[in-house]
Amino acid sequence: MNKNFPVLLLHSLCIYLLNAESLVEISQGILNGTIQVSRNGRIYSAFLGIPFGKPPIGNLRFANPVPAGKWSGIRPANSFGNICVQNDKGHIRGKEDCLFLNVYTPRLQFNSSSTLLPVMVWIHGGSFNSGSSNMFGAQYLLDKDVILVTINYRLGIFGFLSTGDSVAPGNFGMKDQVLALKWVQKNIQAFGGDNNRVTLLGQSAGGASVSLHAISKASSGLFHRYIIQSGPNLSPWAYQKRSNYVIFIRGIAALVFCPFFTSHSAVHCLRNKSVKSLIKTSAIFGTIARFAQLTWTPTDEPDDEGAFLTDSPQNLVKQNQMKDLPFISGVTSDEGLFVTSGLYSNDVLYGVVKLSLNNLITYFADYYFESKNKDGFTAAVKNFYFNDTLISTGKYEFLERLTRLVSDGFFHYPQLTMLQKVTPKMNSSNYFYNFGYLGTAAGPYSRMKNNGNHGVGHEEEVRYIFSVPSLFSKFTNLNHTKIDTSISKLMVDMWTSFASNGKPISNELNKYDLWKPYTPENPSHLQIGSIHNNTDPGISLSNTFHTNRMDFWRKYAPI
């Protein structure tokens, strides 16, 4: 016998499995998926590009989504569906026909047990203006007994245009997410999933989406646990009141030569405009909003059937509307790098921002924090974060301080305030984390090329939960070290165990159940990575979270 026969046999088996069919029948018809392999060599089925909503074109543009219909025969599900229309640095990518989702399941290949598996539904980020479900691979999570669903939703003007009334109430992207969750409830058992154990999770705009679902009646009963990554519902960038949009849509109508006698006339005209002309209407937004890519966002709507939000997140949280379900929420230690990272390598832009700091802070105070004393707020910020020494402050020190300001105002303080407001009223456990580890495969906001270690930026933790080479390959070496892999396995353990039983545990920890719930009496958080040295992978439980900085916001911009 050929001594290489076992190797050849294994190789042939792998080729057979990777080319094997995975058939499953759902309410719409039969799907033929494909086979993938997890990080640890586990075989699982992937069903890609499944339509859950009809193409939102024609009269369905700027309208609530409609469930996708059935098909005849066997539908191939071995390639991704279209991404949603978005502006990628001046280039228009994607299609309006984009309401697709992906399902990854180990159950079809490993069916020795009839137990249904917990389901994790991922909502991608991208400032509500970019991104897609296709960017997030299942190779890490599918080492575990979970089913992963990743979903698309309409973005930018197509997902969030609002006339401020019932004609086009807005939140269409959020309603796409609701429709996808209803699809999961109806179909996930066919993939071996438990529709009574659905965990909704997302990061950035995806995290904000999750935290808005947590206060939306439209999402009631569609999920049972949730994970909010860098997206608390009290973040000032996660919501705009509809009165703002009334001004915006008038400007849009003027830009594309549409009449605005009534909302009906404007929307009818906009439905007949090209994608390109509508994408270019971002000029109506202020320069700072466009620089930060914070333009189209969720809003409040008239209280009609199908409404997603009928009040502001602040009021809904105050009214105790946040779903009393187990949840995880947290931030990265230097979230503000998503704004400041580009300034390290662009001296001209850095100089403009430094010279315009007064105007920048005043804009934040007015537009995002709705300060009643803009001048007083601006002076307080300059004193607290910059020590009133702008002229003598060097570039790196200035950017570190600006990063801290953006991190605290837009992420850290809203995160802590959300917990402090909702936790005393809940019976379910919730867990708070601060991700502060910078590995060798750091993301684009954390370690810019040739510019060193600036902190642990926005979306840094995502790369340890998902295999996302397309998201970061331009910036990093994606070959995880042994320590990086340990952190990744830690995150995967905690996220999947939480989806399974509501408790984030991991054998990668010295004590597998180290992470304790956040309570008013014990306001603890899991510190992932040392607070003093972000290249140190140490894990600890802490009861203090930037106390002086949080006190500043509590005094000058209370939520």
Please check whether residues 367 and 510 belong to one and the same domain.
Answer: yes
Asked if the structure places residue 364 within a domain, the reply is yes
Asked if the structure places residue 317 within a domain, the reply is no
Dihedral sign computed on CA atoms, order 174, 178, 179, 181: positive
Please check whether residues 82 and 219 belong to one and the same domain.
Answer: yes
What CA–CA distance (Å, rounded) separates 45 from 291? 40
Dihedral sign computed on CA atoms, order 344, 349, 353, 359: negative
Contact 160, 151 (CB under 8 A): no
Please check whether residues 440 and 545 belong to one and the same domain.
Answer: yes
Segments forming the whole domain that contains residue 179 = 18-302
Structure tokens, 346: 């662009």
Please check whether residues 206 and 339 belong to one and the same domain.
Answer: no
Low-confidence ranges of the chain (pLDDT < 70): 1-21, 109-114, 286-294, 390-392, 441-451, 469-480
The closest of 419, 338, 432, 441 to 125, measured between CA atoms, is: 338
Please check whether residues 293 and 345 belong to one and the same domain.
Answer: no
Kindly state the DSSP code that residue 82 receives in the 8-state scheme: P
Kindly state the DSSP code that residue 531 receives in the 8-state scheme: S
Asked if the structure places residue 315 within a domain, the reply is no
**Counting beta carbons within 10 angstroms of the beta carbon of residue 182, is it exposed (0 to 12), middle (13 to 18) or buried (19 or more)?**
middle
Asked if the structure places residue 216 within a domain, the reply is yes
Contact 101, 150 (CB under 8 A): yes
Asked if the structure places residue 153 within a domain, the reply is yes
Asked if the structure places residue 314 within a domain, the reply is no
Dihedral sign computed on CA atoms, order 551, 552, 553, 558: positive
Predicted TM-score of the model (pTM): 0.93
**Counting beta carbons within 10 angstroms of the beta carbon of residue 218, is it exposed (0 to 12), middle (13 to 18) or buried (19 or more)?**
buried
Domain count, the chain: 2
Q: Specify the CATH number for the domain of residue 461.
A: 3.40.50.1820
The SS3 call for residue 149 is: strand
Please check whether residues 34 and 117 belong to one and the same domain.
Answer: yes
What CA–CA distance (Å, rounded) separates 28 from 432? 39
Kindly state the DSSP code that residue 116 receives in the 8-state scheme: P
Structure tokens, 509: 């920890």
Quote the pLDDT of residue 477. 39
Active-site annotation, residues: 204, 335, 458
Kindly state the DSSP code that residue 268 receives in the 8-state scheme: H
The closest of 538, 542, 544, 480 to 509, measured between CA atoms, is: 538
Please check whether residues 273 and 382 belong to one and the same domain.
Answer: no
Predicted confidence (pLDDT) per residue in 170-181, tens digit: 999 999 999 999
Asked if the structure places residue 80 within a domain, the reply is yes
Quote the pLDDT of residue 478. 44
What CA–CA distance (Å, rounded) separates 517 from 494? 13
The SS3 call for residue 389 is: coil
The CA distances from residue 147 to 45, 110, 124, 466, in Å, are 10, 12, 17, 13
Please check whether residues 297 and 427 belong to one and the same domain.
Answer: no
Please check whether residues 268 and 367 belong to one and the same domain.
Answer: no
Please check whether residues 265 and 344 belong to one and the same domain.
Answer: no
Write out the DSSP string of 403-448: HHHHHIIIIIHHHHHHHHHHGGG-SS-EEEEEE----TT--TTTS-
Quote the pLDDT of residue 237. 93
Please check whether residues 283 and 420 belong to one and the same domain.
Answer: no
Please check whether residues 549 and 498 belong to one and the same domain.
Answer: yes
Quote the pLDDT of residue 475. 34
**Residue whose entry in the numeric block shows the structure tokens 């993939």:** 191
**Residue whose entry in the numeric block shows the structure tokens 């280039």:** 91
